[in-house]
Structure 1
Amino acid sequence: MHSSVSAVLPLEFGTKAETLARLAGSLRTASILPQYSFTVAEWQRNPRTVLMRVCGRPWARRALIVRSSSRNEDQATSSNAGRYLSVSDVYGRDEIRLAVDAVIRSFDGDPEDQVLVQPQLHDALASGVVSSCEPSCGGPYRVVNWTPGTDTSEVTSGRSCVQTWYFLPGAQVVPPSAAVAGIPALTDELARLVGGRPFEFEFGVDPDGGLVLFQIRPLAGADSPAIPPQRHRAAVDECARRVRALLTESPPALGAETVLGVMPDWNPAEMIGLRPRPLALSLYRELITDDVWAHSRARYGYRDLGSTPLLVELHGLAYIDARASFTSFVPASVDEATARKLVTHYVRTLRENPHLHDKIEFAIALSSYDFTIPQRAERLCEEGVLDEREAEVLVRGLREVTSGMLRDDGPFRRDVEAIDRLAARTIVRPAAFSPRRLSALLDQCRRHGTLPFAGAARAAFAATALVRGLVELDVLTPADADTLLGSANTVGTALQRDFATLDRASFLRRYGHLRPGTYDILSSRYDEDPDRYFDWTRPASPPSPAPVFRPRPAQVRAVRKLLASHGLPGSPGQLFLFVADSIAAREYGKLQFSRLVSEILFEVRRGGERLGFTVDDMSHTAIGDLASLTGDCWAERRRIAELVERGRERYALTESLCAPAVLSGPGQLTSFVAMHGETNFVTQSRVAARVADIAAGDDPTGAIALIRAADPGYDWLFTKGIAGLVTAYGGANSHMAIRALELGIPAAIGVGENQFQHWLGADALEVDAAAKAVRPVTVAGHAREAAVRESRVS
């Protein structure tokens, strides 16, 4: 046995058993269970003696856990966490022998590897894993992954819904549960012992509420913090001041308070990511969220917010101002007093139900008319939000806005015509870079691209709401709704058909401008790296025609009666045509305006290259600064060098920041629990298949593709014959949701970052869209442990 020694500063990491032994007796904020450890060589030489020594321990009559303590585990460069076997609920000499043999079989053959035997913690209140810093970026946050309950393997196995608490050391924090109240003190004590090196530890909470340290190891692969703690804290304080100002300002948006979110409107988490590079962020703001979004909605009859920005930047983190979004969904005909009541109610509802942040139009705001709107408005009266007159004004305003979309001479049809005109334009590329051309492209994209696209997207939301209302009223079944929504002749269907029927050159002429990250200059266009996205050696089959929605006579009669009684224009056939046309127009609009976005990024890259700057350099600049260049090469070079240096410094800081998906107060910038989102499930199908990590370059053919966020540039996935799809971010009306529905692919859209991380580590998943469930398929490690249990029982 390896004897305990007094802990020294800094703590010297060894094997799992050795490190625990060095801490035993000196740790003040947690206890360490008694242990006995031995090497593989000792066991192979004399197992009887080892068994006698284990069984002679006073705690050996309780349930034991036999754990791996390999020399290949818990290293600074690789933790190998979970690689080797541990067996729990072990009782008596015979079971100990079986468990030890099983653990040793999972090793790599090193006779100096160790086996660690301890009493098992029973009746635990909670358990989890804590990182001393944010593992992916090295940000100075303590990250606590924990779950209540007696099973202390829940967090590490990924089988449960894990809660994640982030907090900054030294901050005044309120623990999310009494079970983890002692974690800050334990983490601080361990940080002092390890001398500032990144580490992580596993813990349990005993029935009396005391913390038990199961193991501590170096945090393998953790990035060294690039930002000094003082500068990081200054940035957090600056973000907090910005949030406080938003809570007290009186902008054109209505209401006394707001909530910030990464998905409520125009979905920045999905389109540009949680921590976008400066160029992508500035381009998204320039083309959409600074003023185009508001101008488009005003054209459709909503409240005019002028040039109110929708996107709020917190040191590079992109958030949507929910107050501005909710205000923009109120019809212009609604008086200000009523509008203010509505916005206040919407914001409060989101604050109390943050999991609805990607469903605000379907679950919170009344943003267009459908056949259930009168009942929903009546509920607002019952809740005391509006009086009857105000509810009537709202219903009338929503009916007017939606009727305008349905009319042949309304704003939607005009936007479709504008998209068609853009599609007919030929982009002429001059021989040399010009700041003037860059400015002209931005202007063209705003006026002729993103503005009509925003209108088409608004019509598509209204169409989807109308279909949902028909399902709620039992006029359509969920399967009918899927068929109707999936019947749109979208770009995705055309891309898959064209890939199967066109030659390579013709296909790339049509779709080569697309890139997975529409606004990301680091994301290659299809025609820049076609073999990365498409397998040209394998013959592809054209997609099967989408089922045609053919309403039954009773459904036609019911819809005709609803249109008449609700005062909406058109016939049932025209309504169904509007649904398909608006969804198709939204996807077609994306294809067309992304041509201009891609050309803008090409121009930025070309302008940087002529002055000696890389694409990575240019990703750290802002589009407005580039468009204002003078054309003087030497002056431009100095200016861009300054922009790149400043952008890199700022982005390094952005990468070190962590914040919740829904931010309702400045205190959440120093302590927050990551939200469990409600996943958007697509289709009524079920599939089980291996996992393909798209970001890691896995082949998605026949697999369930996992990708954090995906815009239209990821349509190439569907040419690979994926079996299913899981995304961390995305809403019910996101592009990938529409594509999956159209192709009948079961998908879980917007599962959230934490759940996505757990499922990314699985060998295979089952996506059961009908049951709204995603289930990890048993992995090898669990199978090995099950085999040990079976041999023990038999």
Structure 2
Amino acid sequence: MRGKMDGARAFEFGTKSETLARLSALVSSAVVLPLVSFTVAEWQHDPGTVLAEIRGRPWSGDPLVVRSSGRDEDQSAFSNAGRYLSETDVRGQDELVAAIGRVVASYDVFLPNNQVFVQPQLADSLASGVVSSCEPSCGAPYRVVNWADGPDTTAVTSGRATVRTWYFLDGAAHPPVPWLARIPELVRELESLSRRPFEFEFGVAADGTLVLFQMRLLAKPGKPVPRVRHRDAVAECRRRLHRLWQAQTPALGPETVFGVMPDWNPAEMIGIRPRPLALSLYRTLITDEVWAESRHRYGYRDLRGAPLLIDLHGLPYIDTRASFSSLVPASVPDDTAERLVTGYVRKLRQNPHLHDKVEFTIALSSYHFTIAERAAELVRDGVLSRAESTELVHSLRNVTTRMMSEIGPYRRDLGEIEQLRRLPLHRPETFRPKRISALVHLCKRAGTLPFSGIARAAFAATSVVRSLVELGVLSPEDGDALLSSSQVASAALQRDFAELSRSAFLRRYGHLRPGTYDILSPRYDEDPARYFDWSRPAANGAHSPGFLPGIGQMRELRRLMAEHRLPGTAHELLRFIVQSVAAREYSKLQFSRVVSEILVDAKRAGEWLGFTPDDMSYTRVEDLCGLTGDHQRDKAALRAAIESARYRHEITETLCAPVVLSDPDELVSFATMADEANFVTQGRVIAPVADVSAGDDPAGCVAMISAADPGYDWIFTRGIRGLITAFGGANSHMAIRALELGIPAAIGVGEAQFTRLLYADVLEVDAASKLVRPSAGAGVRIRETGAA
């Protein structure tokens, strides 16, 4: 064993066992379990001597761990994480001999100086995990801790568990659980030894002591980030949040919470770190003005003048105070409305896991058959008085019945969308700068504005169905069947793919692209082979007749409508449900045609001025609408805008923040929620889906496996283009391998989302934007052609 090294000397990494042996004499903020290390040659030549040395240790009678320590593991260019075997819970000499033999056999190339080492197994571990000294994919100066509770010390690296992640910057650690408070000191101590980014595996003993299992250099870490620029960007975001937390008229309430999913779902639609063009297009077409104008037209509180989406150095967040305020009926008195919004915000702050379902679990935004029970919760929580809750329910009934009326705003919006459908979009042969402004105006007034109202009606219809399921009038299967009978747009796409010629199909659907607002996402007609397998037999696109209610169900529905004093008949209500949900899909198809045309003209503007589509993704809509037609002047202005935005976006791509922001301090220290995906690399890919467990060949595909298990390492030999797992963390073996090979990956997306994604034909994995989205292909419904 080497003596303690001079602190001025650079620490020398060796094999896994050599590194641990050296660290045991240097580290004071963690312990290294004792070990016996030997080479493959020593074992094969004289196993008795090796066993005698192990038996001579006082811990030899305890459960043991036998670990690989290959010469090609934990190197600066590659880690081979999980490639070779380690054995746990080894008891007795016979098991020990067998375990060593299996570890030796796992080396696929015989090298006599490959090593194996044996340690006592950590008993009664409270938790275990992996820590990176920087964010591995982008090199940002966050310390990244992946951990899992429980005695399984391989839970994180094996990818078989639900993993939590803690990000923190130096000097700003607010550990989410008490035992993590010791991690920052250990990181600093190890950083004083290593001159390069590194990661280490650890366990937590029953008394809270950290146990160091392994330390290695980060193989191919992200490009180092200028720390001053990163620090300044974080400080800018914190200052902005402090200002935004103050009262913001016309939004109600003293404080707010920001999220990436509540209301219009920017995380789903444009990603966590969208390029400037996608972000500005989304804001211009929807979240700056249109969202509030539409709700005002439907009888909700007037929030015109208040933006819904805020931009934190390129990270899009929804201001839930504005969102909640806009969902209060206009007839509700100001003081009641303010207490209502304050209560909504407080509930979200206390239950951040509800961020992607706020209208089903927090806000009351439309009338349905269980609305009285939901309103009673507000009384129990002290948000409203009984009289005020009754008044709220009455106001929601008026808004909703007006919405369903034949002369209400929903019918008007349907008419406007139909006018847009009939409007031809003639594309001139030569690029005309002023056309972009005209298209933006057209899309707002005739596309996204009516679509916003139609989407609001569809949400109200969905709420009615959920309430009928809750009351037992419909079974969950009946509710699904009723809503799925509305999917006429997706059924039409499937039918047309089966029946139309390729050219006719692309004339009708060619404008669609997986990323509706993303210039870098090819349209169907720009790269059809990417999205559709034209060689395979097409599904016939037959559409099921949908849900047919029974006599008893109709009787109960009529009774409920009479009890709740809803106008119209039960048949009319069911027709509204089916038609409104279908209209939402249909209107997405129509307005996305104009959005796609805007992006086509943006690309043509780039060609005219000598810029690539990638260059143009750094422009903003305002830049494009400001083009004058003066080639020299426009080129200079756009070049300056692109260079400035690209420079700023470099830092945007290194910012890490929680999906729900309740405090500015969470920009410097936060833990992710369970089932929140970990994205690996900054890459992007669009490719077919391969369900590896079902036997699909993953070559050239986005490989999907349930757990980030190193047993699937073979898939990397097949030339996969992307990787998605249901479970695991960013430091699982599979994640590390994907990082080393530059394969975009989403690790640990959660079981529910994983199952949904399996139904797609083609997926886009955009790791930089932290986004996974399906693309509509044959047999798959259109999942994203507009807002949800």
Report the TM-score when normalising by structure 1: 0.86
What code does the residue aligned with 2:22 have? Answer: R
SS at match of 2:192: helix
Q: Write out per-residue CA displacement over residues 530-556 of structure 1, whole angstroms, 9 at most, x where no aligned residue.
A: 111111111112234325211111111
Aligned partner of 1:69 in structure 2 is 69
Contact 1:61 1:92 in 2 (8 A): yes
Q: Which moves more between the two structures, 757-766 or 4-13?
A: 757-766
Structure 1 residue aligned with 2:524: 526
Corresponding residue for residue 271 of structure 1? 269
Is 2:475 the counterpart of 1:477?
yes
Would the alpha carbon gap of residues 770 and 671 (structure 1) be closer, same or farther in structure 2, given more than 3 Å must change? closer
Contact 1:5 1:23 in 2 (8 A): no
Q: For 1:156-555, what aligned pairs fall within 5 Å after superposition?
A: 156-171=157-172, 173-195=173-195, 197-225=196-224, 227-555=225-553
Measured against aligned partners, the alpha-carbon deviations of 1:634-674 in whole angstroms (never above 9, x if no partner) come to 11111111111111111111011000000011110110111
Instruction: Report if aligned partners of 1:703, 1:722 keep a CA contact under 8 Å in 2.
Output: no
How far the C-alpha of 1:221 sits from its partner, in A, is: 2.6
Cα separation, partners in 2 of 1:650 and 1:773, compared to 1, 3 Å: closer
Q: Which residue of 1 aligns with 2:713?
A: none
Deviates more, 1:155-164 or 1:519-528: 155-164
Q: Which has the higher contact order (CA 8 A, sep 6+)?
A: 2
Find the aligned partners of 1:609 and 1:97 in 2 and give their Cα distance.
68
Matched residue, 2:150 = 149
Partner of 1:712: none
CA distance in 1 between counterparts of 2:204 and 2:468 reads: 50
The one-letter amino acid paired with 2:190 is L
Cα deviation per residue 1:94-116 (whole Å; 9 max; x = unaligned)?
11110011111111223222112
Q: How does 1:594-605 map onto structure 2 within 5 Å?
A: 594-605=592-603
Distance of 2:701 and 2:581 partners within structure 1: 23
2:689 to 696, 700, 711: 700
Q: Which residue of 1 aligns with 2:35?
A: 35
Deviation at 1:773, TM superposition (A): 12
Aligned partner of 2:412: which letter?
R
Deviation at 1:704, TM superposition (A): 8.6
For 1:598 and 1:401, locate their aligned partners in 2 and report how far apart those are by CA, in whole Å. Answer: 33
Does the 8 A contact of 1:39 with 1:114 survive in 2? yes
Match of 1:117, SS state, is: strand
Provide the C-alpha distance between the structure 2 equivalents of 1:99 and 1:648, rounded to a whole number of angstroms: 53
Q: For 2:750 and 2:200, how far apart are their aligned partners in 1?
A: 32
Indicate if the aligned counterparts of 2:257 and 2:662 stay in contact, CA closer than 8 A. Answer: yes
Whole-angstrom CA distance in 2 between matches of 1:750 and 1:405: 42
CA displacement, residues 698-743 of structure 1 (integer Å, 9 cap, x when unaligned):
54266699xxxxxxxxxxxxxx99999999xxxxxxxxxxxxxxxx
Is it true that 1:54 corresponds to 2:62 in the alignment? no
**Cα distance, 1:771 vs structure 2:** 14
How far apart, in 1, do the equivalents of 2:386 and 2:53 lie? Answer: 80
Residue 56 of structure 1, CA deviation? 2.1
1:21 offset after TM fit, Å? 1.8
| Distance in 1 (alpha carbons) for counterparts of 2:432 and 2:606 | 11
Aligned to 1:468, the other structure's residue is in SS state helix
Bigger Cα displacement from structure 2, 531-540 vs 484-493: 484-493
Structure 2: which amino acid aligns with 1:410?
Answer: G
Amino acid at match of 1:34: P
> Shift of residue 5 of structure 1?
6.6
Q: 146-155 or 287-296, which moves further after superposition?
A: 146-155
Structure 2: distance between partners of 1:580 and 1:769: 25
Check conservation: 1:356, 1:678, Cα contact below 8 A. no
| AA matched with 1:188 | R
Q: Is this contact kept in 1: 2:336–2:384, CA < 8 A?
A: yes
| Gap change, CA 1:759 and 1:488, over 3 Å in 2 | farther
Structure 2: distance between partners of 1:356 and 1:763 = 22
Query: What letter is aligned with 1:198?
Result: P
Match of 2:90 in 1: 90
Q: One-letter code of the match for 2:580?
A: S
Between 1:762-771 and 1:320-329, the stretch displaced more is 762-771
Point out where structure 2 has 5 or more consecutive residues left out of the alignment: 678-682, 695-699, 708-723, 739-744, 759-788
- For the residues of structure 2 that align with 1:763 and 1:345, how far apart are their CA atoms? 35
Q: How does 1:633-648 map to 2 (within 5 A)?
A: 633-648=631-646
- The alignment's TM-score, normalised by the length of structure 2, stands at 0.87
1:10 equivalenced with 2:6 (yes/no):
no
The count of residues paired between Structure 1 and Structure 2 equals 722
Distance 1:133 1:208, change over 3 A: same
* Distance in 1 between residues matched to 2:734 and 2:68, nearest whole Å: 24
RMSD of aligned alpha carbons: 3.0
In the alignment, the residues of structure 2 paired with residue 486 and residue 725 of structure 1 have an alpha-carbon distance, to the nearest angstrom, of 28
CA contact (8 A) 2:66 2:119 kept: yes
Give me the whole-angstrom Cα distance separating, in 2, the residues matched to 1:671 and 1:500: 52
5+ unaligned residues in a row in structure 1: which ranges?
A: 680-693, 706-719, 728-748, 776-794
Partner of 2:134: 133
Which of these residues, 659, 662, 670, is aligned with residue 661 of structure 1? 659
Q: 2:216 aligns to what SS in structure 1?
A: strand
1:452–1:764 distance in 2 versus 1, CA, 3 Å: closer
Letter in 1 for 2:37: S
Matched, 1:124 2:125: yes
- Shift, 1:337, TM fit: 0.7
- The amino acid across from 1:71 in the alignment is R
Please give the secondary structure, in 2, of the residue aligned with 1:71. Answer: coil
Q: How has the CA–CA distance of structure 1 residues 517 and 765 changed in structure 2, closer, same or farther, with 3 Å as cutoff?
A: closer
Residues 138 and 388 of structure 1, relative CA distance in 2, 3 Å threshold: same
The alpha carbon displacement at 1:503 in A equals 1.1
CA contact (8 A) 2:727 2:751 kept: no
Instruction: Please give the secondary structure, in 1, of the residue aligned with 2:609.
Output: coil
CA distance in 2 between partners of 1:721 and 1:648 (Å): 30
Instruction: Check whether the contact 1:137–1:222 (CA below 8 A) recurs between aligned residues.
Output: yes
Q: Which residue of 1 aligns with 2:103?
A: 103
The residue type equivalent to 2:360 in the other structure is F
Could you say what secondary structure the match of 1:217 adopts? strand
Which is further off, 111-120 or 349-358?
111-120
Tell whether 2:583 aligns with 1:582. Answer: no
Residue in 2 that maps onto 1:735: none
Asked if the contact 1:490/1:583 (under 8 Å) is kept, the reply is no
Residue 573 of structure 1: how far off its partner (Å):
1.0
Read off the aligned partner of 1:21 and give its amino acid letter. Answer: A
Question: Hey, what's the Cα distance between the residues in 1 that align with 2:725 and 2:430?
Answer: 42
Does 444-453 or 37-46 show the bigger shift? 37-46
Percent identity of paired positions between Structure 1 and Structure 2: 57
Q: How far 1:58 sits from its partner (Å)?
A: 2.6
Deviations 1:381-413 (A, max 9, x none): 232211122112211110011101211121112
Q: Distance in 2 between matches of 1:722 and 1:436?
A: 40
Residue identity in the other structure for 2:433 = P
| Counterparts of 1:283 and 1:209, CA distance in 2 | 50
Label 1:656 to 1:752 Cα distance change in 2 as closer, same or farther (>3 A): farther
1:413 & 1:550 partners in 2: Cα distance? Answer: 25
Q: How far does the alpha carbon of each residue in 1:286-344 deviate from its partner, in whole angstroms, 9 at most, with x for none?
A: 00000100001111111111121000110000000000000000001111111001100
- Distance (whole Å) between structure 2 residues aligned to residue 772 and residue 697 of structure 1: 19
